Amino acid sequence: MSSLELANYVGASALLLLLGSMAQAQAATPPVGQPLFGEWDRLNSTGSPPAASEHELMHFGVEGNTWTGRYDKHPEPALGFANPPEGRYGVFIGADATGFVCQPAFPFYPCQNVVEVVEGTMRYYPPHQPPFDVRQQTIVVRDENGQEVMWQYWISPGNFACPWYRTFDEALAANPFPTHGDCVFPVTTHDQREQPSVRGTPSPGVH
C-alpha cells in the first residue's frame, strides 16, 4: 500500500499516526493495560493441502485514544504454503469499544477473561478487486496461565470470529495439520434454534 493510498483512506494526519504506531508495534512489548498492542499471528487453513493455508499477520499500535492496525501475510515456503501468498492487505482504525456484548457463541463466554476490546473498521485491499470495509471488534482473552488469544470478530459483514495468537508457533500448536475449522460462525442469529458452529473462514476470499 502506498503512502498516497493510505492518505486517501485515513487522512494525512492519521497517516502519520498510523506509520508511527506501526513502527512501535513491531519494535515494542505491549504497554501495561493495552494487551492488544503488537503483533498477532494466525494460521488460516482449509485443512489440506498446505498450499491452501496462509500465515496471516496483524500489527496494532495506539496513540492517545486511537488504535491503528495493519493486516498482511507472511510467506511460509518451508511449510508448503503458496509462495508468494495471496496479496490481500488491510488497514484498521478504531478505539476502545464502548458497546461490547458478550455473545453466548464466543468460545470464551461468559467473558470473565476478556482483558481488552477495541472496535473499528478494517479496510481490506484484495488484489485486482475493489477495497471493502468491515466493522470489527478485536477481543483479547487471557487465560489463567497468562496465555493471550485475540479473537477477531467480523460484525458486519461477516458475523463470525476467528482466533489469533502472539506467535505463529502458538497458532500452529493450537491448530496442527491436518487442521480443523477454528472460526465461530454465526456469532449472532435471529433464529435462536440455530446453534453456532465451529469451522474455517466462512466465505471465499475472506481472510
**Could you tell me if residue 71 is inside a domain?**
yes
Residue range 117-162, pLDDT digits in tens: 999 999 999 999 999 999 999 999 999 999 999 999 999 999 999 9
Q: Taking the CA of residue 7 as centre, how many other CA atoms within 13 Å lie in the half-sphere pointing to its CB? A: 6
In a domain, residue 206? The reply is: no
Q: Is residue 128 part of a domain?
A: yes
Within a domain: 134: yes
| Residue 207 is assigned to a structural domain of this protein | no
3-state helix, strand, coil in the chain (%, to 5): 20, 40, 45
Number of domains making up the chain: 1
As a whole number, mean pLDDT of residues 107-124 equals 97
3-state secondary structure of 11: coil
CA distances from 30 to 33, 94, 113, 167 (A): 8, 17, 18, 14
CA dist., res. 89 & res. 41, Å (int): 14
Give the up-direction half-sphere exposure of residue 190: CA atoms within 13 A in the CB hemisphere. 0
Cβ burial of 126 (10 Å; 0-12, 13-18, 19+) is: middle
Higher pLDDT, 21 or 34: 34
Average pLDDT over residues 191-201: 43
Given a contact cutoff of 8 angstroms between Cβ atoms, the answer to whether 51 and 78 are in contact is no
pTM above 0.85, yes or no: no
The pLDDT-based confidence of 24 (bands split at 50, 70, 90) is low
pLDDT bracket for residue 199 (50, 70, 90): very low
Q: Does residue 65 sit within a domain? A: yes
User: In terms of residue numbers, what domain contains 166?
Assistant: 3-199
Question: Is 205 within the bounds of a domain?
Answer: no
